[in-house]
Structure formats: structure tokens, C-alpha cells
Amino acid sequence: MYVPELSVLTYLILAAAAFFGGWVDSIAGGGGMITVPALLSVGLPPHFALGTNKLQASFGSFTAATNYASRGLVPVKRVVAGILFTASGSVLGTLAIQSISASFLERLLPVMLLVIFIYMLVSPELGSKDTTRRLNAGIFYFLFGTAIGFYDGFFGPGTGSFWTVAFVILLGLNLKSATAHTKVMNFTSNIVSLAAFIPGGHVLFGVGLVMGVCQALGARIGSAMVIHYRVRFVRVMFTLVVGATIVKLLVSQYF
């Protein structure tokens, strides 16, 4: 499969996309909607774009996750089950995407995100504070860790949005805490998916490492903002990112 040579200018463009993607992703998810199109736009074949994106995204999600955990927003011992189920789902999803098309998910994703977007708009207090847990944590992580982990390994865009809303609605977390928990799960599915992509030769390490450093810097700044600001800031950013993701997906499919 042909993989184009990349110029210095192309590296700079991808680095900028990774920085902005890391910043956005650490606050509200959706960073892949910036970095994956950027990788595709420079001529990388789809599987190389997805594999390389997992490498650079691992830097950002790890940086954000550790920053949140160090501030006490994620009690790591309580999410071990989520990490294990997410990892298993991600492996299966990554193996699947390397052999079949993701076209069905491309059509379904805007619909799923639109439901989340509308739900956030009509529920202005959603995520403003901790609420009652509606599902046992073990069952929650088994169902959503496996399903969302598979989705992230298979396709990816919107993963953070699905995790965040699930944490808020079913485990009763506020949006700030849900965002922090989401980054731990994101890192898990990213790093496991990366490990599954590498044997297939679909990872460009030079590009991924350059982008990864910039992704980590953006994630550090973004996660610090979430820690510093109130839940309302996270809510506004989350709604904007989900809305922008829907528009981006619809435009890419129909125009």
C-alpha cells in the first residue's frame, strides 16, 4: 500500500492539529475529529491514519488521565473493572476494523450523537452535580466498557462523548468527574488498540511521535482548565464539541 512522503510543512500542520486535538479532547472529547481528518488530508491510507492516530492520541489521553488522577478526580482502584473490559473490547474492535469497512458506523454515528446533543440541551442541569447511581458499577463497566471499547478500537470518533454521558446518567457523576473518568477509559482503549495496530504495520511512528508530543501538551493545558473551572465550563465545551462533531460528520458524508 502506497504511503506518501511527508514534508516539513506537513509535519508542522499535523503537529498543530494534534495540539488543538489534545486540548479539545481533554476537555470534552472529540479530538479524533480533528486529528484523523488531518492525517487523511495529507494522503495517508485510512488504516494508517487510524493506527497512527492511536499512537498520538495515547500521549494526550495518558497526560490528561494522569493529571486528573493526581488531583483526585479519578480513584483508580475503583475503575479497574472498567479498564479491563474496555481493553478487551478495544482489542476486538481493532482486529475487526483491519478486516472490514466502517461505513455503517459512519452513517449511524451522527444519529447517536444527535440524541446526546438534544438530551444535553433539554436537560440543563444534567451533570451539574453528583446524582444517584442507576446501575451497579460492575455491570456498567461490563456493558459499556466492552461496547465503547469495541467502538473506539473499531472506529473511534465520539467515544469520549458516549463515555461522558454514560458516566453522568448511569453512575451519577458530575460532568467534571465524568470527563476525568472518560480520559482513563480513553487511554486504555487507545493504548490497547495501538498494540493491536502495530503488528499489522499500520502505524507511522515518526509522525505519531511528533504529533504525540504536541497532543500531550494540548491535553495538559486542557485538563488543567477543567480542574480549574466550574462544571458549567465543561458542559458548554462538551455541548459545542458534540454539535461540531455532528456537523462535521454530516458534511463529510453528504457534501
Annotate 72-102 with b (16+ C-beta within 10 A) or e (fewer).
ebbeeeebeebbbbbbbbbbebbbebbeeeb
User: Is 3 within a domain?
Assistant: no
Give the pTM.
Answer: 0.86
Please give the DSSP secondary-structure letter assigned to residue 105.
H
**157 domain residue, yes or no:** yes
Task: Give yes or no for residue 151 having a pLDDT over 70.
Answer: yes
DSSP 143-186: IIIHHHHHHHHHT-TTHHHHHHHHHHHHS---HHHHHHHHHHHH
Of residues 121 and 20, which shows the higher confidence score?
A: 20
Residue 164 located in a structural domain = yes
The number of distinct structural domains making up the chain is: 1
Q: Does residue 2 belong to any structural domain of this protein?
A: no
**Mean pLDDT on 2-9:** 84
Smallest Cα–Cα separation from 243: which of 107, 68, 115, 91?
Answer: 115
Residue 110 has pLDDT above 80, yes or no: no
Among 196, 204, 228, smallest CA distance to 88 is for 196
Q: Is there a domain that residue 74 lies in? A: yes
Question: By percentage, how much of the chain surpasses pLDDT 90?
Answer: 50
Q: How close are the terminal C-alpha atoms of the chain, in Å?
A: 27
Domain containing residue 119 = 8-254
Q: For residue range 172-226, what is the model confidence (pLDDT) as tens digits?
A: 999 889 999 999 999 999 999 999 999 989 899 999 999 999 999 999 999 999 8
How is residue 213 written as a grid cell?
508530543
The pLDDT, as a whole number, for residue 115 is 78
Structural domain includes residue 94: yes
Do the domain assignments include residue 1?
A: no
Q: Give domain status of residue 115, yes or no.
A: yes
